[in-house]
């Protein structure tokens, strides 16, 4: 009998909190094991039409946005941090880029946390993720690269301009090559963007072992005698509920997984007490070592006649790895037509160059709002003066690319830095802000570092927040097997577990974390590789 002062309860073997890329993959893998029931809880909707609307470049629908903001106190800036609340998560809204990160990224991870997360150990995991038509792997997520016939004149000019500047061509940016320019590996089957929802979760929906609970917000973890026993949730339809489980896994992302731990009394004791929360488990590292790639947009006009409708859109990029020996930092450049202007034809008469810093020294921290612990979290990045210098160098390199013969042939004109607040794209509402900055509408390379700081935004590549490592006293949150230190039967299986920088977007990172944790939970203590 349920006590009158307790919400209704359900029981499952495993509860997975967060239906983004990692949650979709993990729930599908665990439900296929045949020895458990799995409940996937998601705060947003389970709407197939939303997933279809987000197949093209576009903004997050207002009702599905988490409305997060990031601050950089040292630079005096603040910018939106778009994250989507829906089954499929940010894999619905991201541009389809499917980069692994460099081998050295994972080897650093292994040095910090344990050998199972080194590059060679993870290669079979990536092979299981990727159905790459160019390399022959046969995993779950369709991956391809645009062909020469599919590339726009702007894309071809970008590759030619990179060659003029001495950057070698790289046909597979998921190989072990560091510095190179080439076609972007994209999560696509044909021209349609593929998401974790479509690749993993939808094929698993018919299983009796899997239940999906959308429009349901996890409010706190239920911990008894040092052991996670379930999750408490709330929803408009059913009110408060408890979902009891033998295992609880957080896959809510770098911000939300850390926030749920903090709201449940798992975190820095001083921060918890300041917010009026009990200390269930002292873990000073919860919400720390959050990493992102600060990015700067330069827009420019193009002479008419260059461009056509492009379902692939984000087709080319250049990556520079600092260990390759010159004085330039780790950075990436991408070039594409301005999707914020869709569906107007003017989208194909404007170009965008994005420069992003792939390994900034500064990190972020997710904090509770002490006045409203259940409210919107606070996120600050401590980017340094060196980070700004490095980002300025990346922007300057990109502006040099705009002056190459290949780009000049397309009639590049009026390059300017812009501050981009959120996403543009298809929809009935107004376009988001795109504010020219003072000093931005000038010749390339003449922008000052302070202009770069004022225009820097997120590259949407959040990782960290629940960093992996053996020592909770040094700020580690989960161990090598993704178990939260000090709380039994509680795991984290998303991008938050990365303890060191990953120089790539985070779609494949989320799937890798989920696949690896799926191995751990279904194979037991032996090495599943």
User: Is 420 within the bounds of a domain?
Assistant: yes
pLDDT value of residue 6:
66
Between 350 and 282, residue with greater pLDDT: 282
Please count the other Cβ atoms lying within 10 Å of the Cβ belonging to residue 120: 12
pLDDT classification of 443: cutoffs 50, 70, 90: low
Query: What's the burial of 326, exposed, middle or buried (CB within 10 Å: 0-12/13-18/19+)?
Result: exposed
DSSP assignment of 84-132: B-BTTGGGTTS--B-----HHHHHHHHHHH-GGGSHHHHHHHHHHHEEE
Cα gap 143→515, rounded to integer Å:
17
Total of domains in the chain: 1
User: Is 11 within the bounds of a domain?
Assistant: no
Report CA dihedral (511, 290, 69, 237) to the nearest 10 degrees: 50
pLDDT value of residue 441:
53
Top mean-pLDDT range of 155-169, 367-381, 413-427 = 155-169
pLDDT value of residue 437:
52
Q: With helix as H, strand as E and coil as C, how does 321-346 read?
A: CHHHCCCCCCEEEEEEECHHHCCCHH
First to last CA, the chain: 45
Between 228 and 192, residue with greater pLDDT: 228
User: Is 192 within the bounds of a domain?
Assistant: yes
User: Is 5 within the bounds of a domain?
Assistant: no
Cα gap 324→346, rounded to integer Å:
39
Residue 420, domain CATH: 3.50.50.60
- pTM for the complete prediction? 0.93
User: Is 6 within the bounds of a domain?
Assistant: no
Residues spanned by the domain of 387 = 19-521
Work out the average pLDDT over 131-139. 91
Cα gap 445→415, rounded to integer Å:
10
Within its chain, how far is the Cα of 104 from the centroid? 19
343 preceded by a cis bond (ω within 30 of 0): yes
pLDDT value of residue 528:
43
Between 238 and 5, residue with greater pLDDT: 238
Give the chain's mean pLDDT. 89
Of 179-188, 285-294, 343-352, the poorest mean pLDDT is in 343-352
Top mean-pLDDT range of 278-282, 313-317, 447-451 = 278-282
pLDDT value of residue 311:
82
User: Is 279 within the bounds of a domain?
Assistant: yes
Tokens 């159905």, located at residue: 131
Kind of pairing between the strands at 239-250 and 266-267: unpaired
pLDDT above 50 (res 431): no
Query: What's the burial of 53, exposed, middle or buried (CB within 10 Å: 0-12/13-18/19+)?
Result: middle
Cα gap 412→395, rounded to integer Å:
16
User: Is 3 within the bounds of a domain?
Assistant: no
The radius of gyration of the chain from alpha carbons, rounded to an integer in Å, stands at 22
> What residues does 281 pair with on adjacent strands?
266
Work out the average pLDDT over 293-300. 94
Residue environment code for 386-424, b if the CB has 16+ CB neighbours within 10 A, otherwise e: ebbebbbbbbbbbbebbbbebbeebebeebbbbbbebbb
φ, ψ at 297 (rounded to 5°): -95, 135
> What residues does 484 pair with on adjacent strands?
478
**C-beta separation of 82 from 421 below 8 A:** no
Work out the average pLDDT over 266-270. 97
Tens of pLDDT, residue by residue over 376-419, are: 898 999 999 999 999 999 999 999 999 999 999 999 988 888 87
């Amino acid at each position: 009998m349920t006590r009158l002062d307790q919400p209704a309860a359900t029981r499952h073997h495993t509860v997975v909190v967060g239906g983004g890329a990692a949650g979709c993959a993990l729930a599908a893998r665990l439900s296929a094991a045949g020895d458990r029931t799995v409940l996937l809880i998601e705060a947003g909707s389970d709407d197939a039409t939303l997933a279809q609307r987000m197949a093209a470049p576009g903004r997050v629908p207002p009702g599905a946005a988490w409305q997060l903001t990031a601050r950089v106190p040292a630079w005096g800036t603040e910018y939106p941090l778009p994250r989507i609340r829906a089954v499929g998560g940010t894999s619905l809204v991201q541009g389809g880029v499917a980069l692994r990160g460099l081998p050295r990224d994972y080897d650093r991870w292994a040095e910090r946390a344990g050998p199972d997360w080194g590059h060679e150990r993870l290669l079979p995991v990536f092979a299981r993720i990727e159905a790459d038509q160019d390399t022959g792997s046969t995993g779950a997520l369709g991956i391809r690269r645009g062909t020469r016939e599919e590339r726009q004149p702007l894309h071809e000019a970008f590759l030619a301009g990179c060659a003029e500047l001495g950057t070698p061509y790289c046909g597979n940016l998921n190989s072990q090559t560091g510095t190179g320019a080439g076609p972007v590996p994209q999560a696509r089957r044909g021209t349609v963007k593929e998401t974790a929802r479509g690749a993993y979760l939808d094929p698993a929906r018919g299983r009796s072992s899997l239940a999906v609970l959308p429009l349901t917000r996890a409010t706190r973890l239920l911990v008894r005698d040092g052991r996670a026993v379930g999750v408490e949730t709330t929803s408009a339809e059913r009110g408060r509920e408890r979902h009891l489980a033998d295992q609880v896994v957080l896959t809510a992302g770098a911000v939300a997984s850390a926030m749920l731990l903090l709201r449940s009394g798992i975190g820095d004791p001083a921060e918890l007490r300041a917010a009026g929360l009990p200390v269930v488990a002292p873990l000073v590292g919860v919400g720390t070592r959050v990493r992102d790639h600060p990015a700067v947009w330069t827009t420019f006009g193009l002479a008419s006649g260059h461009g056509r409708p492009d379902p692939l859109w984000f087709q080319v990029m250049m990556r520079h790895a600092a260990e390759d020996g010159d004085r330039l930092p780790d950075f990436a450049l991408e070039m594409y037509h301005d999707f914020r202007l869709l569906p107007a034809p003017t989208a194909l008469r404007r170009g965008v160059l994005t420069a992003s810093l792939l390994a900034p020294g500064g990190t972020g921290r997710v904090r509770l709002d002490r006045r409203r612990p259940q409210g919107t979290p606070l996120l600050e990045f401590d980017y340094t003066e060196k980070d700004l210098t490095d980002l300025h160098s990346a922007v300057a390199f990109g502006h040099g690319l705009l002056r190459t013969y290949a780009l000049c042939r397309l009639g590049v004109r009026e390059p300017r830095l812009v501050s981009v607040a959120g996403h543009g794209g298809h929809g009935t509402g107004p376009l988001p802000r795109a504010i020219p900055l003072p000093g931005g509408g000038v010749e390339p390379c003449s922008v000052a570092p302070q202009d770069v700081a004022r225009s820097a935004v997120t590259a949407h590549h959040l990782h960290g927040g629940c960093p992996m490592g053996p020592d909770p006293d040094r700020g580690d949150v989960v161990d090598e097997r993704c178990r939260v230190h000090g709380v039994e039967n509680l795991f984290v299986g998303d991008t938050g577990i990365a303890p060191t920088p990953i120089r790539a977007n985070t779609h494949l990172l989320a799937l890798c974390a989920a696949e690896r944790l799926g191995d751990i939970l279904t194979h037991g203590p032996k090495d599943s590789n």
